[in-house]
Structure formats: structure tokens, C-alpha cells
Amino acid sequence: MPALETHARFLLRASALLIGLLILWWFVLASPMLYLLKEAAGNFVDIRENPSGDWTLRVPLDATLAATNGRHVPQPVHWVDFDIARTDVNGFTFSLPVYWAIILAAGARRSLRPLLLGTALISAFELASLLVFCQITARGAVARLAGNQDASAKWIRDFGQYLVVNALPYIVPFVVALSLHRGLRGAIFPWGHEPEAAVPSPRRQKKKKGRRIASLHRPERSL
């Protein structure tokens, strides 16, 4: 029961923190996070933000469209342009508040280092996710223009896009938190965590020592 109660308290703290941090993220942190993500991703793809807040991305890609009935000569492709709504781009900053909620729910003790290091790792993951999404979308557009109906390639692209957009943003924060926070890992997986030996307080040690000395000097009873 104590372990169950501990887990229940952790879930309650994590749920409350997640709700609060998601509200803070949506109304306050989303814009600066998107700005930082745009500046970082701009080193790899060309990004133009429209007045509506949506993004227009130009992804460099070297491909060649084969000649067809409507295209008499092969046509080289050097980049692909596509638009992405601001609400969809927000999804690439979603993992950070989830990670913060998990780490803060684990307790303030020994959480500063995992909080800072994990924030850097999650930020790198979000940047990589956006770049992978851009490549998948660009290659899918080229495949449609080329009339490529390869079902297996299309399935791989769709599955990769599903992982990047709908699965990994929820999974990676938990994996990083368990990897970096030893206390959280020991609480969730107690079978791999050795409990620390209780160290008696100096006051108790002194009291026990006093009792031991008193017993040594106690006079023996005469028979």
C-alpha cells in the first residue's frame, strides 16, 4: 500500500502540473518557443512566416521526375515548398511542458540537473522531429508528382509521419525523464533500486552510547 499511495500522489502532482504547464505553454510560452524553433530550423530549411502565423517551408531536396506523357523530358527537383499551419507547428514544442511536469512532479530534490539537461535534449529532439517531418512531407510530394504509387514506400512515409507527430512527442519525455532522474526511475521500477540503509541520527547514536557506558558501570548485585 505505501508504494501504491506514493504512485498515486505522484500521478496527482504530475496531472496538476501538466494541466498548469500546458495552460502556461499555450498562452505564454508557445510564441517564444516557436521563434526559437524557427531560428534553429532555419539553419537547415528556409522558413517564411505568413501574417496569419502559418509557416511556408522550402526544403532542399535533390530528385528527378521521370519523363511521362505530360512531361516529355526528366525534370530535376532541387527543393519542395509546402505550408504548415501554426497550430500544427505548435505540436513540435509540446514535449517540453510534458517533460517539465514529469520532472517537477518527481520532487525538487536532485531535479535541477535532470531539468536542465533534459530540457536541452528535448529541445534537440523537437528540432530533429521538425526536420524529419519536413523531409517526409517533401519526399511524399515528389512521389505524388512523379506518379509513384509504391505502396510500401507510402506506408513507410505515413508511419514515420505518425511517429514524429502523434507518438514520439508523448513517449520521449517519459524516456528522457526516466533516464536522467534516478529517484524517479527507482520509484517506478523498485525491483532495480537498492534501498539506502537508514543512518541513525547523531543524537540517537549519542543516546545509545550513553546507555552502553551506563550498563558497563552498573554495579553487580550480590548473591
| Residue 168 dihedral angles phi and psi, to the nearest 5° | -60, -35
In whole angstroms, give the CA distance from residue 195 to residue 179: 19
178: phi > 0 → left, psi -120 to 50 → alpha, else beta; which?
Answer: alpha
The identity of residue 5, as a single letter, is: E
CA dihedral in degrees (147, 152, 153, 156; nearest 10)?
A: 140
What's the confidence (pLDDT) of residue 144?
87
Longest dimension (CA), the chain: 122
What's the confidence (pLDDT) of residue 152?
92
What's the confidence (pLDDT) of residue 69?
67
What's the confidence (pLDDT) of residue 63?
86
Grid cell for residue 137: 512531407
Grid cell for residue 223: 548473591
What's the confidence (pLDDT) of residue 223?
41
In whole angstroms, give the CA distance from residue 113 to residue 84: 35
pLDDT in tens, the chain (223 residues): 455 567 788 889 999 999 999 999 999 999 999 999 999 999 999 999 999 999 999 999 988 887 776 666 788 888 999 999 999 999 999 999 999 999 999 876 678 899 999 999 999 999 999 999 999 999 999 988 888 778 899 999 999 999 999 999 999 999 999 999 988 888 777 665 554 444 555 555 555 555 554 454 555 554 4
